[in-house]
Amino acid sequence: MAEHSANDMAFNSPLEIGLRALIILSVNQPAYLDLQRLVYYDYLVLHTRDIGDPNSPDSIHPATPHRSGEIVVRRKAMQDGLDLMYSRTLLEIVFGGNGVSYIATELTNAFLDLFESEYYKLLRNNAFWVSQFFSEYSDEELKGYIDNKLGSWGGEFMYEALTRSGLE
């Protein structure tokens, strides 16, 4: 069995992603959000500058190469995070005509009110901004927006990576 440090286990762990999902659900109350919208919003909350709006707040995480791949791998981690938060009764699962959705509860907000760190404040601010920016987007419009932009997020480093490996 491989050994992991405490830091390895915390970065993009179900706990971390679940906490971000709670923040996203909280600022979207009383809306129900499905797994895919939560995955998109989670990426966008961390990388707000990728949206390309001059009024967006600063990204929380750096603009690393190939960061758009985070969206692809985040789905399972988000599901695990939601399951963890649900097991602690910090969110509700709603089964409806459009499938499975998630919603914040009073306990969600009471729990989040315990956080005071600057990182939490940045996450909440960015989550609110992302939610407002995309509030009128249907699921199909949001998917189209993401699909259209996906290649450019982190793609600006593609040529440099190819030239460094001698593949010009």
**How high is the pLDDT of residue 149?**
79
Model confidence at 158, in pLDDT bands (50, 70, 90)?
very low
Cα separation, 95 vs 118, in Å, equals: 35
Element (H, E) at 96: strand 91-96
Residues 6-28: tens digit of each pLDDT: 444 456 789 999 999 999 999 99
**How high is the pLDDT of residue 147?**
83
Cβ within 8 Å of residue 92, ≥6 positions away:
86, 102, 103, 104, 105
Higher pLDDT, 115 or 3: 115
- Percentage of the chain exceeding pLDDT 70: 76
Contact assessment for residue 19 and residue 84, using Cβ atoms and an 8 Å cutoff = no
pTM for the structure as a whole: 0.82
